[in-house]
Amino acid sequence: MRKIAIIGAGSIVFCKTLILDMMATEALEETTFYLMAPSTGKTSQVEAFANRVIKENGLKSKIVITTDRREALADAHYVICSFQIGGLNVYETDYTIPLRYGVDQCIGDTLGPGGIFRAMRSIPVILEVAREMEELCPQATLLNYVNPMAMVCWALGETKVKFVGLCHGVQTTLDLISGYVGVPKEEIDFLCAGINHMGWFTKIEHRGNDLYPILRERFEQPEFYVNEKVRGEVFRHFNYFMTESTGHLSEYVPWFRKNAKALELYCDEPAFGGESGAYYNWCKYVYSKYGEQDILAGESYNLPPRSVEYCAYIIEALETGKPFKFNGNLRNNGMITNLPADCCAEGPIFADRNGLNRVVIGDLPPQCAALNLTNINVQRLAVLAAKSGDPETLVQACALDPLTSAVLTLNEIREMVSEMLEAQRAWLPQFAGRSVRQTPSIHIPANVQRANVPIDPALAVISRFGELSK
């Protein structure tokens, strides 16, 4: 039987969704699912539920739970990763420590101090998975759902593993566009490319007619603009619609969360509209409501239609040759020609029996590529920091982060990173024995004299012009 390993199967609802999608796919019915997590507390709930679905629907699938990652990976045909290292407690420090310094995050899983530190925790583990795959299942394809997607997939792009990173931002944004322009989404021809959580819809058409004039008109109307203030503003100023909502996008750029006035103006919508700590607070609510109880108890055992998640469709295409087009994350390698070749790019991919085949986009509009590059610069240093365990590279990654740099001085960033590193040491073994270098502020006495050093030529020119003006 086909073997699919799910690493991080303790994400109960998401794991259940993926398994049901694959069980509902005729070509994937004969599959053994290995559900791996550090403990069996949650995977046993998924196992019991899935076995009941198998029995009630007369399926041929099998479920195995394990805490041994190597057992799960051995001879696997496909590997799905959906883990979160450290859980809710460490995620809390991703949000609360930066907030004390004035860096206000809404989600904190992709960029910003929270996203960067999540990368520090996630990348070493995903690279361990990749090394074990190279040894135990070298022909397997890895489907990654671990965030921060772009940084994790950048690191995977430096391994020999076949992989793709999956996110549902394109599907959900297309639903939104469809509602705005009044055209069924299945009738919209589109092209979307860029980086994860900052993909640009460079083409949206209906039967050969450009839909952008309608979309632009809608976003000049208050009743539409108010739904997505941040995305609407970026659309109005950069000319293209992008994949992420106000809550996400406000963290990736310097303009909307840098002070109280900006937050009040752009990020005051209800839940997930951009308010401080929206996702962390939601996670706390879910945990307080369900805790360790069996949240699948009472769920229907009927096999539902497949969800919007790409996973089952991709594996079906790889297995049967039935082509499936989707937007995914791969090492760029020329897919988008005005982004770095080694970064993780998101764009259209065709899956079939020949594998994962990228579509070459060419250049993005220059302003779109430029905004992507502000995030890519952070991603590059964050990946390097996660692999090297160098605290200085970690500080530099945070210093280049658009939101952080809009709020803090360099010394403040250094202090924040130092505090976050100390709070998360248990989850960051690559930084063992290494701390952020302290650079105290230099006190300049009122009567200090300048050192006798050469004057900057530019200042000399300015000084000379000053003399001439007299």
Asked, as a colleague might, if the bond just before 148 is cis with ω within 30 of 0, I would say yes
- The predicted pLDDT at position 131 comes to 98
Q: Are 124 and 429 in contact (CB under 8 A)?
A: yes
- The predicted pLDDT at position 226 comes to 87
- The predicted pLDDT at position 292 comes to 66
252 in catalytic set? yes
Residue among 241, 266, 254, 309 nearest 111 (CA) = 254
- The predicted pLDDT at position 466 comes to 63
DSSP assigned state of 156: H
Which class is domain 89-107+167-291+306-429? alpha beta
Question: Is the sign of the CA dihedral 260, 273, 229, 149 positive or negative?
Answer: positive
Which residues are registered as beta bridge partners of 331?
A: 344
Kindly state the percentage of the chain with pLDDT values over 70. 96
212 in catalytic set? no
Residue among 252, 249, 248, 253 nearest 278 (CA) = 248
Pick the catalytic residue: 252, 266, 310, 313? 252
Alpha carbon distance 163, 169 (integer Å) = 19
- The predicted pLDDT at position 269 comes to 65
**Domain boundaries, given as residue ranges, for the chain:** 89-107+167-291+306-429
- The predicted pLDDT at position 451 comes to 84
Alpha carbon distance 43, 35 (integer Å) = 7
Residues of the chain with pLDDT under 70: 269-272, 291-293, 295, 459-470
Angle at 160 between CA 157 and CA 164, to 5 degrees: 50
